[in-house]
Amino acid sequence: MKFTKYAKYLGVAALAMGLVTGCQTTESSSAGSSATEKTLSANDQKVQNIINDAKAKLKVAVADGYAWRDTGKFIKQAEKALAEGDTAKATSLATKALQQSEMAKKQSAEQDKAVAARFK
């Protein structure tokens, strides 16, 4: 009985060590991608900021229940274009996604006003 108990603990410890070792190698390769992100040009960083803003506003729109159909697609396409080095296309798509997210928020507010006025 004691042997199986210790064998379980030993197995869990071995699994944990393997996981820690695997995460360390993954993290060091992630650090390389972080270094790549740091070397983004000023334009690329601006586009990345627009994409991040669009993602944040899209989350708000989703939470409100007024997310537009193509906004997520535009964000993914903008990220892909940025990764491929097409900054102009990425900027256009990211800006479009940001505008749609902002308009979805406005639509949510307008609908809330309309519903409140109707059922007052």
Q: 35 or 40: which carries more pLDDT confidence? A: 40
- pLDDT above 80 for 114: yes
**Residues 6 or more apart whose Cβ sits within 8 Å of residue 66:** 104, 105, 107, 108, 111
Q: Could you tell me the CA-to-CA distances from 76 to 4, 7, 70, 101 in Å, in that order?
A: 50, 47, 10, 14
This model's pTM is above 0.75: no
Alpha-carbon gap, residue 41 to 87, rounded angstroms: 10
Kindly list the domain boundaries of the chain, sorted by start residue: 1-39, 41-120
- pLDDT above 90 for 55: yes
Half-sphere exposure of residue 100, counting CA atoms within 13 Å on the CB side?
A: 22
- pLDDT above 70 for 29: no
CB 61 within 8 A of CB 105: yes
Identify the pLDDT of residue 112: 86
Per-residue pLDDT reduced to its tens digit, 75-93: 999 999 999 999 999 999 9
Q: 114 or 11: which carries more pLDDT confidence? A: 114
Identify the pLDDT of residue 113: 85
